[in-house]
A and B are shown apart, each in its own frame.
Chain A
Amino acid sequence: MSDAVLSLTHLNKRFGALQATRDVSLDLRPGEIHALIGPNGAGKSTLIAQIAGSLKPDSGGIQLAGQEITSLSVAQRARLGLGRSFQVSSLAEPLTVLRNVMIAVQALQGHSFRFWKPVHRDESLLAPARDALARMQLEPRADTPVSELSHGERRQVEVACALALKPRVLLLDEPMAGLGPEGSARLTELLEALKHEVPILLIEHDMDAVFRLADRISVLVAGGVIAHGDSATIRRDPQVREAYLGD
């Protein structure tokens, strides 16, 4: 797959006797949402950690836009265009929404060793941060501390932070987790609009969202990919039905 933005080739990760990732190869192409589903304990989190850089695979490689990133740190990968959100929301709670997004803008511009100019008057930080918030329809909440946000809003802030990095790839780890049907529908809509700008690797439990959003689906069971295809194929696959869909 030469046109893939992100590709994993033969990834393996073992913790003692547990093979958490078993020869996983998959890719993400421009303009698509590729969903990764699997039951609890299938190794989704381990896989995400390897893509994001907080865990190193035992073998195999990860390429971002044709560049080998397997040995790079989390921060280095982020600078190359890997944006991510976390399963458990990871924001600075006491800071305002805008402040959380501004850090991403600042990182993108690469000037953190500036000691003099106050950030609260720095339009080159404020404007892109507001822009990212607008795309997640969060503008009215810009000056609210994250600690006062609803769960769904935090999810949106996470995505806004990732977007502010102008990423080549978005890695979303269960963005719908804990959202009510309304919040989930809203985020589904926002993500659908987004995929033409940024391809998304979506790890998700919410099957309605996955079947609606995903162009392709890979099913992870016991560390390995057991099935791969569009949603119709996956829905029909007997192995998947047995292992995951529960009938």
Chain B
Amino acid sequence: MIKSTTSSLAPHRELPAPTASWHDRKGLVQIGLLAVLLLAPLAAYFLGHVYYVNLASRVTLIAMAAVGLNLAIGYGGMVSFGHAAYFGLGGYVAGISAYHAFDLTPVIAWPIAIPGSDSMLAIWLAAIVVCGLLALAIGAVSLRTTGVYFIMITLAFAQMVYYFANSWPTYGGEDGLPIYLRNSLPMVDTQDPLTFFLICFGGLLLSLALTSRIMKSRFGAALTMARLNETRLATAGIAPYPIRLVAFVISAMITGLAGALYADLNGFVSPTMLSWHMSGELMVIVILGGVGRLYGPLAGAILFVMMETLLGGLTEYWKLFLGLVLLGVVLFAKHGVMGWLAGREHP
């Protein structure tokens, strides 16, 4: 029904664009989601419920990490089951940098001396670069495979990173690494929960805008074609592999940046952030929200954290209900919460 109305109403449909104007239902849903995410912590802050402000930051950062994953899975058709590697690595960049800044020791002493830093700007940049490099190496190997093999190989690489962190005593091994004082930004009090939430919110907006813009560009057109019909892309003379690899790296950078902020939110980073449970959670969020939908990760993250908080308060078996919801989405609403709220969308 929805499909036929949109296509008959728009005979001169422009190329499908990931973001929408104010006028249609999708645009309203998107703005609604952002408004809920922004207004709920504002209200909680002024009512004195700091817990809910931090909960909103958590939703925001998990959504941002899933926005990164969605670029790989949804837009690129690369089902990565190892994005916790980048989420956790981003977290460890924040943790390790803060640890050395606190200790006044260098992160690396040789061949060049890299000092620790408690500046968020430096940490973000480092997280983006380090996660990008790791994704370049992992992607270069993994993207030689497809399908189930790709899923398994990304999982295997992520587990290697997980066990490495687990067994490296310098940075706490399996106990993890505390960040005693939240990292800082010039002229901003990052200790304040609302301020920190707004920083996270800014990061989410930026990652959404970036994804939207990229998917409308030539690169996005090539990535879409690589997902829909690889042969067509190659026949046109564009090799799919480098296109996918670059998309995979950008995806990891977004997830890594979210991870760096997540460590600062919790004041703590541990191998849990690197574990396959985390990869699975991010994947569940993307699927819940709607694969390949720009705002899907946000819708998915809100739903996920709400279930975790509400049902988790009632029973420790809340994931049973999460499983049922996921089953429902996969069986009956393949386009996820966004498909249900905002209607179907042409790719």
Residue of A with least CB distance to B241: A75
Q: With the chains together, A53 CA to B12 CA distance in Å?
A: 37
A206-220 interface bits toward B, Cβ cutoff 8 Å, 1 = contact, 0 = none: 000000000000000
Are B222 and A92 neighbours in the complex by a CB distance under 8 Å?
no
- Sort chain B's interface into a size bin: 20 to 34
Query: If A118-B216, A119-B221 touch, does A145 touch B232 (CB 8 Å cutoff)?
Result: no
- Asked whether, in the complex, the Cβ of A116 is within 8 Å of the Cβ of B217, the reply is yes
Chain A residues near B16 (CB, 8 Å)?
95
CB within 8 Å of A: which of B1-53? 7, 11-17
Near B by CB (< 8 A), chain A positions 133-165 give 143, 145, 148, 161, 165
Nearest residue in A to B237 (C-beta to C-beta)? A78
Which residues from A are CB-within-8-Å of B347? 94-95
**Centre residue among B13, B225, B236, B246 by max chain A CB count within 10 A:** B236
Q: Is B219 an interface residue (CB 8 A)?
A: yes
* Interface-side segment among A59-67, A107-115, A174-182, A222-230: A107-115
- Contact between A112 and B238 (Cβ–Cβ < 8 Å)? yes
- Pairwise interchain contact B234-A106, C-beta atoms closer than 8 A: no
CB pair A90–B346 under 8 Å, yes or no, is no
Q: Are A106 and B229 touching (Cβ within 8 A)?
A: no
Most buried by B among A75, A76, A102: A75
Q: How far is the CB of B280 from chain A (nearest CB, A)?
A: 28
A113 touches B246 (CB 8 A): yes
B228 within 8 A of A: yes
Interchain CA distance A155-B154 in the complex, whole Å: 38
Q: Is A7 in contact with chain B by the CB < 8 A criterion?
A: no
Contact between A75 and B234 (Cβ–Cβ < 8 Å)? yes
Name the B residues within 8 Å of A114 (CB-CB). 217-219
- Which among B13, B221, B236 is the interface contact of A143 at CB below 8 angstroms? B13
Interface residues of B in 94-111 (CB under 8 A from A): none
Task: Give chain B nearest CB distance to A77 CB in angstroms.
Answer: 8
- Please name the residue on chain A nearest to B246 by beta carbon: A113
Check: A68 CB closer than 8 A to any chain B CB. Answer: no
Interface residues on A, range: 35 or more
> For the complex, what is the distance from the CA of A116 to the CA of B243, rounded to whole Å?
15
Residue B239 lies at the interface, judged by CB distance under 8 Å to chain A: yes
CB of A46 within 8 A of chain B?
Answer: no
Indicate which residue in A79, A93, A115, A119 contacts B237 across the interface (CB closer than 8 Å): A79
Q: Which of B219-265 contact A (CB under 8 A)?
A: 219-222, 224-225, 228-229, 231-239, 243, 246
Q: Which of B15, B218, B219, B233 contacts A99 (CB 8 A)?
A: B15
Does chain B have a CB within 8 A of A236?
A: no
Q: Are A119 and B346 in contact (CB under 8 A)?
A: no
Task: Pick from A94, A106, A120, A161: contact of B228, CB below 8 A.
Answer: A94
Supposing A78-B234, A103-B232 touch, asked if A120 and B213 sit within 8 A by C-beta, the answer is no
0 or 1 for each of A113-128: is its CB under 8 Å from B? (1 = yes): 1111111101001000
Does B214 touch A at the CB level, under 8 Å? yes
- Which residue of B has the minimal Cβ distance to A105? B236
Q: Point out the residues of chain A lying under 8 angstroms from B246, CB to CB.
A: 113
Asked if A100 lies at the interface with its beta carbon under 8 angstroms from chain B, I say yes
Shortest Cβ distance from B233 into A: residue: A103
On whether the beta carbons of A73 and B236 are closer than 8 Å, the reply is no
B235 touching A92 by the CB < 8 A rule?
no
Query: Is A96 close to B, CB under 8 A?
Result: yes
Given A92-B224, A112-B218, A119-B221, also A107-B15 (CB < 8 A): no
Q: Are B221 and A102 in contact (CB under 8 A)?
A: yes
How far in angstroms is the closest Cβ of chain B from A72?
11
Complex contact A90–B219 (CB within 8 A): no
**Which of B17, B220, B224, B239 is the one whose CB lies under 8 Å from A95?**
B224
A102 to B222, CA, bound (A): 10
Question: Which residues of the other chain, B, contact A106 by a CB distance below 8 angstroms?
Answer: 218, 221-222, 236, 238
Which residue on chain B has the smallest CB distance to residue A92? Answer: B228
Instruction: Report 13 cross-chain contacts, Cβ distance below 8 Å, ordered by A residue.
Output: A52-B235, A75-B239, A90-B232, A92-B232, A98-B15, A99-B15, A106-B236, A117-B218, A119-B217, A119-B221, A120-B216, A122-B218, A161-B235
| Apart from the given pairs A79-B237, A145-B346, 16 other A-B contacts in the complex at a CB distance below 8 Å | A74-B234, A74-B235, A91-B232, A99-B15, A104-B236, A111-B218, A113-B218, A113-B246, A115-B214, A118-B217, A119-B218, A119-B220, A119-B221, A122-B218, A125-B218, A143-B11
In the complex, the 4 A-B pairs of residues with the closest C-beta atoms, listed nearest first: A78-B237, A107-B236, A120-B15, A92-B228
